[in-house]
Amino acid sequence: MDFHLSDGQQLLVSTARDFLQRHCPPNVMAESVASERGFSPELWKEISVLGWPGLLIPVEYGGSGGTVVDVILLLEESLLLGTAGPARCERLLPAMASGERICVLAITEESASIDEAALGLTGAPGSRLDGRKLFVNDAHVADDLIVVTRRASGANLLLLDARLPGVTVLPMEAMAGDRPCEVVFAGVEVGDDDLLGQAGRAWERLGPALRAGALARAAEMVGCAQRILELCVDHARGRRQFGRPLGSFQAVQHACADLLRDVETARYLVYRAAWKMEQGREHEADLAMAKAYAGRTAQAVARRAHQLLGAISFCDEHSLHLYHKRILAAGLDFGDPSHHLETVASSMGLV
């Protein structure tokens, strides 16, 4: 396994870092989080010009034809491609790659579980949908919904226009700056053209997509933890206590060293899982280790940072609380640490 970045990946990382430093300072990030949409439409347009929304979409559909590792590097930031026919891909993917169209996944319900057994919403072509999905991120700005439904023969994937009659999107309260929504279906007609892939076999396509989502969230937590580490180091260098820099005290040095160890270990696990996924190797246990470790470690990094920075880090004016909240939300999304540790235990033959 080679951890050296290619020239293209180095350019992606440097471009992203420069763009985000110039356009996403803490005050802008806080304003976007507090806005009604949860993000800046103007900033989304600029990001779309850079090609980030289409990083995993093939070149023939207007994307960049990138890899999972590229996405993980960006997140420090596909279900349609594997199930939709060529006509649908040509209609939807170019608009998604350019950022003009947004598609979200509606899977969880009352239990918030991502297991097939937890599905309650039933639906198939030729029927009507009645029920609701919960915690559907960004449904309030979505153009399309990929809805997971249950039937006797298995789960279905349905691609529905978010503005169909009978579809209602209601915002849910959240603390992390994301925009989870409740999506209510009231007699929504479902036709043959709405089915993605084969009937009753949705979970075969959902598995890889959910694992990719979990890995992306793990990478996001690593990115947050890295930024928190940088905030702590800057504070230790600039803050003076008893006539000397705070970082000159051995206890503070040890604390920062522990943060560095935790961040680098989490990053290695995420990179290894992404590399194995990209290479088509067995990666379920590696991904579970990465998600579980990043979830617990990134939270520990944030808590220790609050101790090092003191009272200012608990104020809205400081950005640490934003990163901490994102870590808390990402740790639960696509399975919490306990869920993924069960996968690790099963891979070791433990019951």
- Of 39, 66, 97, the residue at which a domain comes to its end is 97
Angle at 30 between CA 28 and CA 31, to 5 degrees: 65
pLDDT higher at 143 or 175: 143
For the cut 50, the answer to whether the pLDDT of residue 47 exceeds it is yes
The answer to whether residue 1 sits within a structural domain is no
The reply to whether 138 and 150 lie within a common domain is: yes
The reply to whether 193 and 244 lie within a common domain is: no
Mean pLDDT (whole number) for 170-175 = 86
Tens of pLDDT, residue by residue over 4-25, are 667 777 777 777 778 777 877 7
Q: Where are the alpha helices (DSSP H) in the chain?
A: 7-23, 26-34, 41-50, 68-75, 79-83, 86-97, 202-238, 250-279, 284-309, 320-332, 337-347
The answer to whether residue 183 sits within a structural domain is yes
The reported pLDDT for the residue numbered 77 is 32
For the cut 80, the answer to whether the pLDDT of residue 342 exceeds it is yes
Number of domains in the chain: 3
- Of 63, 97, 131, the residue at which a domain comes to its end is 97
Torsion of CA 165, 139, 28, 22, to 10 degrees: -110
The answer to whether residue 112 sits within a structural domain is yes
Tally Cβ neighbours within 10 Å of residue 170.
Answer: 12
- Of 199, 216, 251, the residue at which a domain comes to its end is 199
Band the pLDDT of 60: cuts 50, 70, 90: confident
The reply to whether 192 and 211 lie within a common domain is: no
The reported pLDDT for the residue numbered 79 is 62
For the cut 50, the answer to whether the pLDDT of residue 303 exceeds it is yes
The answer to whether residue 2 sits within a structural domain is no
For position 53, which CATH number holds? 1.10.540.10
The answer to whether residue 328 sits within a structural domain is yes
The answer to whether residue 310 sits within a structural domain is yes
Token pair belonging to 46? 């600029």
Tens of pLDDT, residue by residue over 90-127, are 788 788 777 788 888 899 999 888 888 888 888 877 88
Average predicted confidence (pLDDT) for the chain: 85
For the cut 90, the answer to whether the pLDDT of residue 133 exceeds it is yes
The reply to whether 212 and 279 lie within a common domain is: yes
The reply to whether 90 and 113 lie within a common domain is: no
Residues 6+ apart with CB under 8 A from 125: 190, 191, 192, 194, 195, 199
Mean pLDDT (whole number) for 50-66 = 73
The answer to whether residue 64 sits within a structural domain is yes
The answer to whether residue 221 sits within a structural domain is yes
- pTM surpassing 0.85? no
Specify which of 31-40, 82-91, 335-344 reaches the highest per-range mean pLDDT.
335-344
What whole-number distance in Å separates Cα of residue 300 and Cα of residue 279? 31
The reply to whether 157 and 51 lie within a common domain is: no
The reply to whether 272 and 190 lie within a common domain is: no
Token pair belonging to 87? 């006509």
Identify the bridge partners of residue 103 per DSSP, sorted by sequence position: 144
For position 148, which CATH number holds? 2.40.110.10
pLDDT higher at 75 or 232: 232
Tens of pLDDT, residue by residue over 209-248, are 888 889 989 999 999 999 999 999 999 998 888 889 888 9
Q: Which residue in the block uniquely carries the two structure tokens 């309260």?
A: 173
The reply to whether 135 and 270 lie within a common domain is: no
The reply to whether 13 and 149 lie within a common domain is: no
For the cut 90, the answer to whether the pLDDT of residue 288 exceeds it is yes
Range of the domain at 280: 203-347
The reply to whether 212 and 316 lie within a common domain is: yes
